[in-house]
Structure 1
Amino acid sequence: MRAGRWNPSEKRVIIEHVPIPQPGPNQFLVKLASASLCHSDIMAIDAGQTATLGHEGAGYIESIHPSAEGKGFDIGDKIGFLYIIGCCFKCEGCMIHILHCVTGKQLLQGFTTDGFFAEYAVVDYQNCIILPESIDVKKAAPIFCAGITAFHAVDSSELAACDWLAIVGAGGLGQIATQIAKAKGVNVVAIDINDATLEVCKQQEADQVYNSRTSKIYVEELKQLTNGGCKTACVFSNAQAAYAGVPPILRLGGVMMIVGLPHDNIPISTMDLALGRYKVKSESTSIPQRMKNAVDFLGEHGIQPEVQIRRLEDLNDMVNEMRAGTATKRMLVTF
Structure 2
Amino acid sequence: MNGTTNGHLPTKQRAAQFHPKDKSVHINEIPIPSIKPDEILVKVRAASLCHSDLMLFEPNEQGLVLGEGDPFTMVRSKQDPAVLSCTAFNAVTDTLAELPGEPNSTWVAVIGCGGLGHLAIQYLKAYGYRVVGIDLSAEALAEAKTSGGDHVFNPKADADYIRQVREITGKGCHAAINVTNSVPAPLQFQAMDISMNRIRVRGSNNGTTPRLEKCVEFSHEHGIRPRVTQLKLDEFEEMLKLMESGKHKGRLGVLFD
Name the TM-score, length of structure 1 as normaliser: 0.67
Structure 1: distance between partners of 2:186 and 2:161: 26
Query: Are positions 1:229 and 2:180 aligned together?
Result: no
Residue matched to 2:6: none
Structure 2: distance between partners of 1:300 and 1:268: 38
Kindly report which structure 2 residues correspond to 1:213-228, keeping only aligned pairs within 5 A, or say none.
213-228=156-171
Amino acid in structure 2 at the alignment position of 1:14: H
Residue matched to 1:176: 119
Percent of residue pairs identical: 32
For the 8 Å contact 2:51–2:181, the answer to whether it is kept is no
Task: Return 5+ residue gaps in structure 1 as ranges.
Answer: 45-52, 79-131, 240-261
Residue matched to 1:279: 200
Aligned residues: 239
Instruction: List structure 1 runs of 4+ shifted beyond 6 angstroms.
Output: none
Shift of residue 285 of structure 1?
A: 1.5
- Partner of 1:289, secondary structure, is helix
Residue matched to 1:34: 46
Structure 1 279/193 Cα, relative in aligned 2: closer, same or farther at 3 Å? Answer: same
Alpha-carbon RMSD across the aligned residues, in angstroms, is 2.0
Query: Are positions 1:161 and 2:162 aligned together?
Result: no
Structure 2: distance between partners of 1:193 and 1:236: 13
Structure whose CA Rg is larger: 2
Kindly report which structure 2 residues correspond to 1:1-335, keeping only aligned pairs within 5 A, or say none.
1-24=13-36, 26-44=38-56, 53-65=57-69, 69-71=70-72, 73-74=73-74, 77=76, 133=79, 136-137=80-81, 140=82, 143=84, 145=85, 148-158=86-96, 159=99, 160-162=102-104, 163-239=106-182, 262-263=183-184, 266-335=187-256
Name the TM-score, length of structure 2 as normaliser: 0.86
Amino acid in structure 2 at the alignment position of 1:54: E
For the 8 Å contact 1:35–1:54, the answer to whether it is kept is no
Shift of residue 267 of structure 1?
A: 3.9
Task: Return 5+ residue gaps in structure 2 as ranges.
Answer: 1-12
Shift of residue 77 of structure 1?
A: 4.2
Shift of residue 272 of structure 1?
A: 1.0
- Write out per-residue CA displacement over residues 282-323 of structure 1, whole angstroms, 9 at most, x where no aligned residue: 211222232110100000011111110111111111112222
Shift of residue 268 of structure 1?
A: 4.1
Amino acid in structure 1 at the alignment position of 2:93: D
- Write out per-residue CA displacement over residues 206-234 of structure 1, whole angstroms, 9 at most, x where no aligned residue: 10000011111000000010011111100
Amino acid in structure 1 at the alignment position of 2:214: N
Structure 1: distance between partners of 2:76 and 2:148: 34
Structure 1: distance between partners of 2:166 and 2:253: 37
Amino acid in structure 1 at the alignment position of 2:64: Y
- Partner of 1:278, secondary structure, is coil
- Write out per-residue CA displacement over residues 38-79 of structure 1, whole angstroms, 9 at most, x where no aligned residue: 1121121xxxxxxxx4331111211223xxx224x33x646x
